[in-house]
Chain A
Amino acid sequence: MDSDDEINSVQSSEDDFMDDEDSLGEDFDAVEEPDDFGFSQDKDIKPRKQAYEVDFKVWGPGQIQDQQDKQVEEVSAVIGQPTESTAILLRHARWNKERLIESYMDKRDEVLESSGLSEDKEGSASITKADDFMCDICCEDGKDLDTFAMKCGHRFCVNCYRTYLASKIRDEGEAARIKCPGEGCERIVDSKSLKLLVTEDLKDRYHELLTRTYVDDMNNLKWCPAPDCTYAVECGVKQKDLTKIVPTVTCSCGHHFCFGCSLNDHQPAPCMLVKKWMKKCEDDSETANWISANTKECPKCHSTIEKNGGCNHMTCRKCRHEFCWMCMGVWSEHGTSWYNCNRYEEKSGSDARDAQAKSRQSLERYLHYYNRYANHEQSAKLDKDIYLKTEKKMTQLQSSSNMSWIEVQFLQEASQALQQCRQTLKWTYAFAYYLARNNLTEIFEDNQKDLEMAVENLSEMFEKSTDQLAGLKVEMLDKTSYCKRRRIILLNDTAENLKSGMILIIPNS
């Protein structure tokens, strides 16, 4: 990664999120406006911060190092220790500058001692030969054996100490807080000892790990969890805020993830519900297995129907009956105010008196939400498959006709929007499972329904034949931007209600 890249990426994310919270109302209006005429416009409109968005900043590897160096220099100037020792002290204090400076001023010797920086009075932290020694790790003994011990006095042969450190650094990825190999000893192997013992071939790895601990120790920094990504994201959302905020961030590598729990974007559901839900799904996986089947029967003629696209609007090949794959209800009702495929209707209380009926009802309720959750996940995959097939066909079409490359970009745009909207929809169902009913639930379900219908409409277009698609560009672009707008509305609404505590979670569900 070259440094120009890093600077640019930070610049742009800073620009995107400069607006403060006061501008919410204004942003919201902007969303409602019928805006664009196509995808090219989107890029020119400067993105504004929405209610569901959080401020964050992406840092490249070089910048993380610079940040660290700056902190070290600052503290070094205050406490009057050379930068190398200051770095050791800071790592030991888990980068808590204020606390380090305070305790250093208070009890200097103690702080130096505990970080392994005190003056060696008896020269104990050095490699020596000892009389009457047997190494408790390899059981070797002898006067000629090189041995090492820290202040704690747990002495081992140098060979064993080296092997131990190598195993910690190479296999376990530890660096700043490796403990003495002695049983139950909490003494941290300080950098002076490490310098003495770590072999040349491990020094680079060791320093790399030291840099990593900086990000690990800072509450406002997290590594991007994407494989091989070396960026870190800074965000001010605290652990205790996670019941009210879902802090989704986007790394410069393009990965969307939750700053709270590092999982993939799970808006609008808050982290703790996501955790609960995933645990529940895992526990109930056998009960729910039948749902993920790709085939179902047509509710009218009972012929077997296979789902091969993401769209949930199904038409039976045999009897032409149109129905919804999720609720198996008649499709024509889905486009009207009758649509309530997303809503779980509680059975009237009277028929759920006994425990068995109650447990069946709670299973039915769970399956209602799980069904839809799993379905959007599966549909997103099918949508993607069909897009990839379409794209291939379009590329072939392009080379045989006079359509230019840019003209099929709208397909990719639509496909990406579909993926993102289905991801959101999926989590709205996990979220809804835990929602206590009040007047806000209705609004939430209306938003969910609107987004779901928009998504199914767009998804359906992918099933058109390739030669038709070229003529549907404008319509598809319209539907794409409508989907995106519905998603933003749903996320904004939910984020605002979550923040103000208006959304109630069912206790112990």
Chain B
Amino acid sequence: MFASKRLGKELSKLQSSTPPGITLVKADDFEEWEMDIRVLDSNPIYNGQTFRLKFRFTPSYPIEPPEVVFVKSDTRPIPMHPHIYTNGIICLDLLDRQGWSPVHNVESVCISLQSMLTSNTKNERPPGDEDFSRRNRLRPRDVNFLFHDNTV
């Protein structure tokens, strides 16, 4: 109930307008949404690419952070980034309980991720990516990341 009231308001706002480079793809219920994001400037790492994000909400959203991952399809790759694993899991303190503030919302998360990509200059995966992507069976929210750095 808590989540649906807030998500309802977020949805009507997103339906009327979204920031440049961010589009609402799917929001059929208050459990799972999909968003597309695209880098606005000409960062050669992401040239011409669009990425798909999947949001999952618990009933206590926005007190609890949503689970946010990149999902892969034929037209939507997983962006190369030193904080994004091949399996789409994102290591970002904003999405962790400690770093999350209930003031954040779907749009602000998209904007944060968009700017995280815009400012990136390293065409690489996090250390230990291969191992983690192969072995990890945990939900993103249950993974304990040691944040590589908190400036991103």
Contact status B103-A136, CB under 8 Å: yes
Q: Does A339 contact B (CB under 8 A)?
A: no
Contact status B5-A137, CB under 8 Å: no
Residues on B facing A (Cβ under 8 Å): 2, 5-6, 9-10, 60, 62-64, 97, 101-104
Q: Does A164 contact B (CB under 8 A)?
A: yes
Q: Does A406 contact B (CB under 8 A)?
A: no
Contact status B60-A167, CB under 8 Å: yes
Rounded to whole angstroms, the CA-CA distance of A167 and B102 in the bound complex is 11
A123-150 interface code vs B (CB 8 A; 1 in, 0 out): 0000000000000111110000000000
Q: Which residue of B lies closest to A154 (CB)?
A: B103
Beyond the given pairs A138-B6, A139-B6, A183-B101, 8 more chain A to chain B contacts, judged by CB atoms under 8 angstroms and listed by A's residue number, are A137-B102, A139-B5, A163-B2, A167-B60, A167-B63, A167-B64, A184-B101, A185-B101
The answer to whether residues A163 and B63 also contact, given A138-B5, A138-B6 and a CB cut-off of 8 A, is yes
A144-169 interface code vs B (CB 8 A; 1 in, 0 out): 00000000000000001001100100
Contact status A164-B97, CB under 8 Å: no
Q: What is the size, in residues, of chain A's interface with B at 8 Å between Cβ atoms?
A: 16
CB distance from A198 to the nearest CB of B (A): 15
By a CB distance below 8 angstroms, the chain A residues around B104 are: 183
By a CB distance below 8 angstroms, the chain A residues around B103 are: 136-137, 181-183
Q: Which residue of B lies closest to A160 (CB)?
A: B102
A-B pairs, 7 with minimum CB distance: A183-B101, A139-B9, A137-B102, A183-B103, A136-B103, A167-B63, A181-B102
Q: Which residue of B lies closest to A283 (CB)?
A: B131
Contact status A182-B97, CB under 8 Å: no
Contact status B60-A137, CB under 8 Å: no
CB distance from A174 to the nearest CB of B (A): 10
Contact status A182-B2, CB under 8 Å: no
Residues on A facing B (Cβ under 8 Å): 136-140, 160, 163-164, 167, 171-172, 181-185
Residue from B2, B63, B64 having most chain A Cβ neighbours under 10 A: B63
Rounded to whole angstroms, the CA-CA distance of A136 and B102 in the bound complex is 8
Contact status B60-A182, CB under 8 Å: no
Rounded to whole angstroms, the CA-CA distance of A1 and B48 in the bound complex is 66
Q: Which residue of A lies closest to B108 (CB)?
A: A183
A-B contact pairs, 21 of them (CB 8 A): A136-B102, A136-B103, A137-B103, A138-B2, A138-B5, A139-B5, A139-B6, A139-B9, A139-B10, A140-B5, A160-B63, A163-B2, A163-B60, A164-B63, A164-B102, A167-B60, A167-B63, A181-B101, A181-B102, A181-B103, A182-B101
Rounded to whole angstroms, the CA-CA distance of A185 and B104 in the bound complex is 13
CB distance from A222 to the nearest CB of B (A): 20
CB distance from A214 to the nearest CB of B (A): 22
Rounded to whole angstroms, the CA-CA distance of A182 and B101 in the bound complex is 6
By a CB distance below 8 angstroms, the chain A residues around B60 are: 163, 167
Contact status A137-B97, CB under 8 Å: no
Rounded to whole angstroms, the CA-CA distance of A39 and B101 in the bound complex is 60
Q: Which residue of B lies closest to A164 (CB)?
A: B63
CB distance from A170 to the nearest CB of B (A): 10
